[in-house]
Amino acid sequence: IFLYSTLYMAHDEGYARYFACLSLFAFAMLGIVLSNNLIQVFIFWELVGLSSYLLIGFWYEKHSAATAGKKAFLTTRVGDTCLLFGMAIFYYHFQTFSFTGLWEAAQAEVAANGGQYPAWMTVAGLFVFGGTVGKSAQFPLHIWLPDAMEGPTPVSAMIHAATMVASGIFLLGRVYPLMSPDVLAVVAAV
């Protein structure tokens, strides 16, 4: 993407700004992948949203690009708020943000509950899934992705389609041991 962009953006006045935003995006995506707790994931999650906003609205002089950037930013904030609520519920009950700590605590909670997931874990899991819905542009928070094509082609075609949309799925994989069968049924339906 970076190599392709060097030629694609070669004559654009915002060349340096473009690569600064693209680098921030790559940094944030790597941060999501390398994080070992939900707080770090959330920080990088927000940086992905910021850099996405900056890249979608890159040609901000064009009204449609500026509007598309705002739409993506606000729509993904709905999902991010859901993620934050889900994280808070899990932290309230398990007193940890560490993935391994959460997985172990969830396993113990389910075992102590006779093999059943408590209702609060389903609610928290649905909130976390809401976060992935926003970032991965799934129904009903999918409305930002078509407008993301207002940004430079390498961003819209390669970054958003291939990585940002995958970040939600990646997070869902990281918290899979916390998800009750009811949450997984909702995930499958969506």
Nearest of 40, 44, 27, 30 to residue 99 by alpha carbon: 40
pLDDT at 49 over 80: yes
Q: What is the mean pLDDT of residues 52-69?
A: 88
Dump the DSSP string for 12-80: -TTHHHHHHHHHHHHHHHHHHHH--BHHHHHHHHHHHHHHHHHHHTTTTTSHHHHHHHHHHHHHHHHHH
Position 162 scores a pLDDT of 67
What percent of the chain clears pLDDT 90, i.e. is strictly above it? 48
Q: Which residue has the higher pLDDT, 56 or 149?
A: 56
How many CB atoms within 10 Å of residue 116?
13
